[in-house]
Amino acid sequence: MRKLAAAVALASTALATPALARDDSWYVGVGGGVMIVEDMDLDIATFNNAATLDHKTGYDFEGVVGYDFGGFRAEVEVGYREADIKAGRVNTPGIPGSANGTGNLITGNFPMNGDSNALSFMVNGMLDFGDDDGLQGFVGGGVGVARVDVAPVLAGPWLDDSDTGFAWQAIAGVRAPLTRNWDVGLKYRFFNASNLDLVDQRGRDVSTRFRSHSILGTLTYNFGGAEPVPPPPPDGPYPPERAPRRAPEPARYRLRASRH
């Protein structure tokens, strides 16, 4: 029974080991998934909401490097997201109807192609909660910069420009250990890049913003912190069969015999 109890204690320690490698350690991770872009309203010249771009479902990828302080994580992230444009709605005469961008300005609803994409560099902070030895949740956000490129095509690419500016995001998700060093997770991200100033083919100012919602699957490698100290066996610091033997007491009666 003593050997069985010691084996159970060691096994419980091994099961808890994967999560212990997260704290006080560096980690790297990758993620990817699907993305939905909110309709992009375009202010063209002096006309507010002159046009709106509707997108197909796109994709979102990321790579992160961070440090886990325990209940809080800090990380840097590089992300890229892209979605094809499927349609446009023009509320005021604002889109050229010819391929070279010099035709008459038209209004209405039109199928379109082209795409919108954003390359971002962010600094994130995450708060972790839940049991370290199983499913764990986290919430957080980040700030940084993003280069957003918008290129809708009707008869031609009437807008094909990019702008770089401030971006922020909100993040929530769950993760769980696969092994001592590997975690898998599921993450939701809301990404926002506002105040984008573009120029169309006619030289007019076009203002808009890029907002997206993403669901990402993640894979993280933890480099590992301090090794956990295993608990002593139930019966003390030594197994019964390896306990040190007590030295025999000196034979005082021999000393007494030698005096006679």
pLDDT digits (tens, 9 = 90+) for 186-217: 999 999 999 999 998 888 899 999 999 999 99
Range list of β-strands (E), 7-135: 25-37, 40-44, 47-55, 58-68, 72-96, 105-111, 113-130
What does pTM read for this prediction? 0.77
CATH topology of domain 2-224: Porin (2.40.160)
53-86 burial, b if ≥16 CB within 10 A, otherwise e? bbbeebebbbebebebeeeebebebebbbbbebe
pLDDT of residue 27: 96
Structure tokens at 4: 């069985």
pLDDT confidence bin for 46, thresholds 50/70/90: confident
pLDDT of residue 109: 85
pLDDT of residue 122: 98
Average pLDDT of the residues of the chain: 83
